[in-house]
Amino acid sequence: QTFRLDIEVTDQHGHNCSGAVTVEVLPSRRPRVTILEPQRDVTVPEGSGPLEVVTQVHASGDNVHYAILSPVVPALFTIDEMTGEIRSTSRLEVAHVRLLVRAYNALQPADQATATINVTVQGRDRQAPSCVPALYVTQVRETVSPGSTLVTLRCASPAGAEGSLSYALEGPPGSRSRFRMEGPQLQVNTTLDYDSQAMAALGFQLTATIVVTAGGQPPRSTRVPVLVTVTPINEFSPECPRGLTFTVLETAPFGSIVGYVNGTDRDYPPDSLEYSLEGGSSPTQPFSIDTHSGEIRVVGPLGSPRRTSYRLLVRLTDTHNDLDPAARHSRLCTVAVRLQAMPEPRCTPEVQELRITAGRGGRQPVTQLACRSDPDTAALSYTITGGNEDGRFRLDGSTLSYIPDGLAEPRTFVLLVEVRGGPGASRSAVMALVVHVTPRSTTVPPSTTTRRMTPRKEPLVVMRTEAVWHPPAWFVAVLTVAGVLLLASLGCLARSIACR
């Protein structure tokens, strides 16, 4: 259709102009609203609850909305304006309802279409099969064998004919596959291994639903929920790890870590073990073990004379693997602890000659002993074992000090110092220190008499060692008696010769 418009324009001064405008109205190219199935018959069972989906109307077009035109009263059904889903508004009784549904373009309401929906609410037998028990909850041990019957349902149909009942299982596949139905009997289908990861993922609880269906139209069903909790059995004993041999320094201090005993157990929870040391900790077995981690530590001095290793017996006991706390398994594991001897310390030089002048006052440092051990981090201990009878020298670590006490004459001290690689080390080194101590000269007051000071020579002591044999007393006594007897015999012999 075409329209012509004559337009005249006048301004405020009286000037005007005119013109013509032609408007042509073209037909719309938008798709019209069309219901794909304008008539449909729907049957729903009696007793369907409120807001249950009865059917759905589908229409094509732009901005399609839906509405129920009739019946308005009673409002047994409602339709979703956007999706076209028709739902019940209350529990349905036996009835036949004819619905007139409108689909329209919300922007162009004149663009619409209608559909007729015939809804039949069909009556049914309300009585479903009744079963005893109506709910089954139980616990079974993981060792129950496949084929074992857990429960036998006693079900009856409304007509009283048990033979018309059928039994089926529903539920999660991981749980349902572990059961099977043999008629009314719920049986174990596979092993219920408590120690598997699959069972742990299910939380050790299996759920299923037994569906009991009676024949007839429509079929009537009853559901019996099943909850089975699997309980553990302590089936396996702990196992000792391989290579339980550890090495520790003979000078290892208190609390040093020796190693770990990592036992295993195949029961769930895995490796749930407690550790204990047979015989406990003692001076002859200076070790302890952590109950939960299996960590072995040093709790006493090691390296007693001629001791190079220890043999420990560690008991592994499983825990939390059975409902019965007394059902526990244990195993003894042998642990070898080898003592690594500290190498002999090395001192440079082994013999050292020192000269000092005695001062006054407190302690006077003499020298720093240069000794080392392997490893270098090992702490060395120093002890004066000889030559310090009057206590003039003292060792603070590796520092040798002299304590002045008014020495009047020069004196030479020969000190023997024992160096060990640490407390309890079996090896040590001895170094000799020859210390020449000269007293400090006293100040002489001024005098008119001139004296010539002659330096005093230090005496040279020459020591000569000779080997001397000191026989024991019994040997001297025997030798004396033998000599007396020999002299007596010779006297008697001479006398007999003279008498002839």
Considering the domain boundaries, does residue 408 fall inside one? yes
Evaluate whether residue 367 is within a structural domain: yes
Do 266 and 208 belong together in one domain? no
CA distance 387 to 393: 9
451 is a domain residue = no
pTM of this prediction?
Answer: 0.50
Rounded CA-CA distance 318/305 in Å is 38
Judge contact between 111 and 32, C-beta under 8 A: yes
Name the 3-class secondary structure at 259.
strand
Phi, psi at 473, each rounded to 5°: -60, -40
Q: What is the pLDDT of residue 490?
A: 87
Q: Which helix (H) or strand (E) holds 225?
A: strand 220-231
Residue 27 lies in a domain: no
Cα separation of 465 and 80, whole Å? 125
What token pair was written down for 45? 């069972």
Q: Are 212 and 185 within 8 A, CB to CB?
A: no
Kindly report, residue by residue over 206-244, the tens digit of the pLDDT: 999 999 998 766 678 899 999 999 999 999 999 999 989
**Which residue is associated with the tokens 């520790």?**
248
- Clarify whether residues 135 and 226 are in a common domain: yes
How do beta strands 205-214 and 220-231 pair?
antiparallel
Q: Are residues 260 and 222 in the same domain?
A: no
Task: Quote the distance between the C-alpha of residue 405 and its chain's center.
Answer: 65
For residues 74 and 37, is the Cβ–Cβ distance under 8 A? no
Per-residue confidence (pLDDT) for residue 218, from 0 to 100: 67
Rounded to whole angstroms, what are the CA distances from 139 to 192, 231, 323?
12, 7, 12
> Burial, 288: exposed, middle or buried (Cβ in 10 Å; 0-12, 13-18, 19+)?
middle
User: Which of 294, 322, 340 is the last residue before a domain boundary?
Assistant: 340
Would 18 be classed as within a structural domain?
no
Q: What is the CATH number of the domain that holds 212?
A: 2.60.40.60
Token representation of residue 486: 């020999």
What pLDDT shows up at residue 204?
94
* Cα 74 from Cα 176, distance rounded (Å): 45
Give yes or no: residues 102 and 156 share one domain: no
Other beta carbons less than 10 A from residue 285's beta carbon: 18
Same domain, 278 and 363: no
Specify whether 111 is located in the same domain as 143. Answer: no
Question: Phi and psi for 155 in degrees, rounded to 5?
Answer: -120, 150
**Domain check: are 354 and 302 in the same one?**
no
Domain count, the chain: 4
Give the residue among 416, 460, 408, 413 at the shortest CA–CA distance from 434.
413
pLDDT for 57 equals: 94
Give tens-digit pLDDT for 408-448: 788 888 889 988 876 556 677 888 989 898 887 644 444 43
105/142 same-domain check: no
In a domain, 114, yes or no: yes
CA distance 19 to 233: 103
Name the β-bridge partners of 223. 211
Q: Is the domain of 258 the same as that of 310?
A: yes
DSSP state of 162: G
Tell me if 499 is assigned to some domain.
Answer: no
End position of a domain, from candidates 197, 231, 265: 231
* Cα–Cα distance measured from residue 241 to residue 263, given in angstroms and rounded to the nearest whole number: 6
Residue 163 sits in which domain range? 130-231
User: 322 and 382: one domain?
Assistant: no
Domain end among 184, 202, 231: 231
Residues 6+ apart with CB under 8 A from 243: none
Determine the pLDDT at residue 465.
46
Per-residue tens of pLDDT for the chain, all 500 residues: 788 888 888 888 888 888 888 888 776 667 889 998 999 999 988 778 888 999 999 999 989 999 999 888 778 899 999 999 999 998 888 888 999 999 999 888 888 999 999 999 877 655 788 899 999 999 999 999 999 999 999 998 765 544 578 999 999 999 999 999 999 999 999 999 999 999 999 999 999 999 999 876 667 889 999 999 999 999 999 999 998 999 998 888 899 999 999 999 999 999 999 999 999 999 999 999 999 999 999 999 886 667 889 999 999 999 999 989 899 999 999 999 999 877 778 888 888 889 888 877 778 888 888 888 776 656 788 888 888 878 888 888 889 998 887 777 888 888 899 888 765 566 778 889 898 988 876 444 444 333 444 444 445 444 444 555 666 667 777 788 888 888 888 888 888 888 76
**Tell me, what's the pLDDT at 313?**
96
Quick check: is 380 in a domain? yes
Same domain, 331 and 249: yes
Q: Are residues 186 and 255 located together in one domain of the fold?
A: no
